[in-house]
A and B are shown apart, each in its own frame.
Chain A
Amino acid sequence: MSFLTSLALLAAVLVGAPVAAHLLRRKRATEVVLPTASLLAATPPTARRRSALEDRGLLVIRIIAIILLALLGATPFISCSHVAVLRKDGASVAMVLVVDDSLSMRSKLTEGTTRFDRAKNAARDLIDGAEPGDSFAIVLAGSEARVHLASTTDASAARAALDDVAPSDRSTDLTTAIGIARDVLRGVPQPDKRIVVLSDLADGDPDGAPLEAGEGVALWYPLPDLESKSEADCAIVATERRELTVDVSVRCAGVPSERRVEVVSASDPKTVLGSATLQAGAELVSIKLPENSPAEVDARLSAGDALAADDIAPVALQSKESAVGVLADAAAAHVETGGPPPVEQGFAALQLGPTVRPLSAIPEHVEELGPYAGIVLDDPPGLTPEERKTMISWVEGGGVLLVSLGRKATAAPLGAGFGSLVPGVIRWSSIAPKGVDASKCGFFSSSANGLADIAPKGRTQLPAEATKDAETLCAFEDGEPLLLRRHVGKGSVYLSTLPFDFETSDFALRPAFLVLLDRFVEMARTGGGAKIVEAGKRFSFIGVSSVEGQVMPAGEQKSIALEIPAGQAPRIDAARIGRYLFKVDGAAETRLALASEKEIDLRPRKIAAEAKDPSLGGEARKIDASPYVAMALLGLMVLELLVRLLSPSTETAAPTVPTSRAA
């Protein structure tokens, strides 16, 4: 509120004036000098009482009038911004509100208001301004993008759903969110379809193609001031504690600067256990802790960047290395240009670094597989009983296994099958369809289109036992699976019916192959032994009977109970950076969620110029309420006239004889 507005509203204190005038008037009547006053009779008090009652009504009217006058003076200065949609020929509008609930939206836009608050208020304005026939859907753009509310014409339901949306520490996935929004709009009957982007556009891909809706759907970006300003930001993306040493990995975007890193007690953030200076441009700092330091500690960056929420992170307790083992026959799956097998080269392309370890053979003891969160078997020639037992035990314990089945796997000698990992008898077929059905390969996202003409020279046919209770992640045109997933115990087995060699197909050269490896590693980390994920990813619990949990957001002292979905393999979103405390089948387990590196880059993604077209609507920054206030004033004047007209006429008072004599 501006000074002038305050000044105008201050005039409202004049409401005391009529009260004072009324009291003064009541105290002393008008004095008239009249020599013959002694002949007058004092009027009975009834007349004065009537006057007093009439005055009180008028007094209230005048007090309200003064307040309205003060408001009238202030209205030109009162800003009441709200977002409103402009309709084409008054037609109904189907809107999908893409609300960005990512970490970057928690930055402050103005004092006391975050970008998320602004986006949510704008969404509420749009819902409040709904006309009959308008429909609303809500898609949340925090990774993973998801539908929060399916399209509905019930504004109250939309309003209630919007109230449930809370800010998170997720990364941003606007591309997927807009894609989902487009899918939501596909079946709606309204002629005017719009995707309303309420985001800062900081999705970590500033150089990506401009965001657009396509398919006859209008993309509308109503809040240009919400756009991120490319500010500098640093975040703690990884922490690890070994004995009394804490390693803190920091990533920065924008101009690097020297920062102070502290390790504090999780239960008492004021207790600093150790600190170090992170030089500008450095990404890793080690901090030595004193003896008898508490087990649960947090790492904290000194303030001074755009986002404060990613400046603090829980420190992982001496985590085990979660490596991925690869067993591939270099002779069978060789590359003409030389080098390791395609699977290893694929992992190398993903830059997973030393976590990928080639295996020469499958260990015979499950303990030897302890460091591995995932193992890839590229067309293995069957498993010996010892190997089979080891692998089954490892997978049931939570390991994630990727097996490509090719000629060698189908030709495994008797007694060297895969057991419960791949039930039944698998066969090789030299006849295969031209490619996959992209619509049935959501696992590969847009990369599935690259498999439409893969034309393999053969494929493995799985028995019904193997596909039963399995999830088909990608299928050929004839419906037979290319990739499926089976849950075994707490772990998972991914089965590819194409081997990763180049003789059968060039599957290993397609982008979808890298997607497969990336998802596999991710699943290995989240669903396997790994206990640390990026905020927005999910914790998986496979093969457990009961899970309870709560999250202690970093920097906060109050825990939040988690809603655990029912089922054999519950997956829980890690929406907040912090420490997740689970009770899995009665056993306590702590997992961590840290900031995503993608969310550090606050440079905005480009958006199609049409999205800012004023013809779509916009923000009415100020509402001139003066006409309404003026109308209210006129109404009060009429009311006062009515009160005067309807007040009882002067009654003839019976005169009284006595007169008062002043002392």
Chain B
Amino acid sequence: MSKKDRSPFAPYPTDWGAFAPLRLRARTVAEGVYAGMHRSVRKGSGVEFGGQRPYVLGDDLRFIDKRSLLKHERMMIREFETETDRALWLIVDATASMAFRGSGPGSKYPFAALLAASLARVALSSGDPVGVVVLGGEDGGRMVRAGAGREAFDRVVWALSSVTAAGDWSSEEDELARALGPVHDRARRGSTIVLLSDFVDLPPAAMAAVGALGTRGRRIFGVQVLSPDEIDLPFDEHARFRSLEGGVVVDADPAAVREHYRQKLAELRQRWSDDLVGRGGGLILSSTNDSPVDVVRSLLLAVSGASAPDETTRAAARGGRSR
């Protein structure tokens, strides 16, 4: 079965809406976010002066403080603080369900892409390499190896903006494992992995596959991106609801099942949150109506350990929502 066949709605038109153009929007978001929240504690060769110590045999002669030697005739070694190599891996869900817009300012995928690009901008500004994996998409996804520098940002933006959300991955466990494989292999200890998805139509084994990324000193965070319609179910009349992945069709009266629906959605989010928190990470809920700055800031705070990445973070992010 081809990918196209797997999604009866693919390629569902991805509406970038207010989230375009991605490069400029990401730069604006990044500027609003406090940068450098995760400074390294390991000293060594770096860029910022960290103090002096007496020379011991074996020290690199390149770091002898020549001025101190000439002035005090003591051999001192200059030490510099340096940031650790905390690569940021961004995994962005671009399956068909992410093309849904609802009543938000744009589709879910563009919002997720904006968050990802903004995070990449922030990370690159701090010197952290950034890698990107796109799950799904019209042509099967993208992967950008972790890299730093200005070109890295361009590659990230290109990778994200050139994808049209499509594909039914609701039962494609192998595809998911294949897509996450490079991250699993390349992300080093201390790397931070962020999964931006709606967490709705992922295959049953997704939680285990994603959880595996949070091993070997890596931390994994999730950002659940939903449309306001998915959160609130604002429909009134009896209708036939059809999912974009998995071929689910349900005849339902929204007014009658709204509470039940919200409960099921909360349960889903709680399952993922419990799993990610258990692995040292966390889950943030975001709506396409939310301010991307707030969402990114919340995530960075969660990553830096300033606050727990749970519903509290979600509430803070929602409180700063820009309309």
Contacts and interface: CB of A to CB of B under 8 A. Distances in A.
Chain B binds chain A: yes
Interface of A: 28-43, 47-48, 51, 650-653, 655, 659-663
Contact of A33 (B200, B244, B252): B244
Nearest to A45: B251
B322 interface: no
A39 B245 contact: no
A51 B238 contact: yes
- A-B pairs with lowest CB-CB distance, top 8: A35-B97, A653-B256, A37-B243, A655-B260, A43-B253, A39-B264, A37-B241, A30-B239
B261 interface: yes
A659 B248 contact: yes
Contact of B256 (A28, A51, A650): A650
B200 A42 contact: no
Contact of A661 (B241, B249, B265): B249
A41 B261 contact: yes
A660 B268 CA distance: 20
Nearest to A29: B240
Contacts of A29: 238-240, 251
Given A35-B97, A40-B261, 16 more contacts: A29-B240, A31-B241, A32-B235, A33-B242, A34-B229, A35-B198, A36-B226, A36-B243, A37-B250, A38-B248, A41-B260, A42-B251, A650-B255, A651-B256, A659-B249, A660-B248
B200 A36 contact: yes
A652 B259 CA distance: 10
A480 B60 CA distance: 177
Given A40-B252, A48-B238, A35 B260 contact: no
B261 A43 contact: no
Contacts of A33: 9, 100, 241-244
Contacts of B5: none
B230 A36 contact: yes
Interface string B192-231: 0000001011000000000000000000000000110110
A32 B249 contact: no
B246 interface: yes
A40 B257 CA distance: 7
Nearest to B262: A39
Contacts of B198: 35-36
Nearest to B227: A35
B250 A659 contact: yes
Nearest to B226: A36
A655 to B, nearest CB: 4
Q: Most chain-B CB neighbours within 10 Å: which of A30, A33, A42, A48? A: A33
Contact of A38 (B200, B226, B239, B240): B200
Interface in B116-137: none
Contacts of A39: 200, 261, 264-265, 268
21 contacts: A31-B240, A31-B242, A33-B100, A33-B242, A34-B242, A36-B198, A36-B243, A37-B249, A38-B246, A39-B200, A39-B261, A39-B264, A40-B241, A41-B260, A42-B250, A43-B256, A653-B257, A655-B257, A655-B260, A661-B247, A661-B248
Given A33-B244, A48-B238, A650 B253 contact: yes
A35 B261 CA distance: 13
B237 interface: yes
A36 B251 CA distance: 13
Nearest to A660: B249
A652 B9 CA distance: 32
Interface residues of B, number: 36
Contact of B240 (A30, A35, A651): A30
Contacts of A652: 255-256
Contacts of B243: 33-38
Nearest to A659: B250
A662 B251 contact: no
B246 to A, nearest CB: 6
Contacts of A47: 238, 253, 256
A48 B253 CA distance: 9
Contacts of A651: 256
B245 to A, nearest CB: 7
Interface in B2-41: 9
A45 to B, nearest CB: 9
A43 B246 contact: no
A41 B235 contact: no
Interface in B256-299: 256-257, 260-261, 264-265, 268
A650 B242 CA distance: 23
A653 B253 contact: yes
B250 A40 contact: yes
Nearest to B201: A35
Contact of B257 (A32, A41, A660, A663): A41
Contacts of B229: 34
Contacts of A38: 200-201, 243, 246, 248, 250
A284 B9 CA distance: 100
A659 B250 CA distance: 6
A662 B247 CA distance: 6
B251 to A, nearest CB: 6
Nearest to A650: B255
Q: Most chain-B CB neighbours within 10 Å: which of A30, A39, A655? A: A39
B169 to A, nearest CB: 12
Nearest to B229: A34
A28 B251 CA distance: 10
Contacts of A659: 248-250
Contacts of A51: 238
Contacts of B97: 35
Given A42-B252, A661-B247, A34 B241 contact: yes
A43 B257 contact: yes
Contacts of B246: 38, 661
B252 A43 contact: yes
Nearest to A47: B253
Contacts of B200: 35-36, 38-39
A34 B230 contact: yes
A350 B86 CA distance: 145
Contacts of B238: 29-30, 43, 47-48, 51
A55 to B, nearest CB: 12
Q: Most chain-A CB neighbours within 10 Å: which of B227, B230, B249? A: B249
Contacts of A650: 253, 255-256
Contacts of B261: 36, 39-41
B239 A32 contact: yes
Contacts of B248: 37-38, 659-662
A607 to B, nearest CB: 73
Q: Most chain-A CB neighbours within 10 Å: which of B100, B235, B264, B268? A: B264
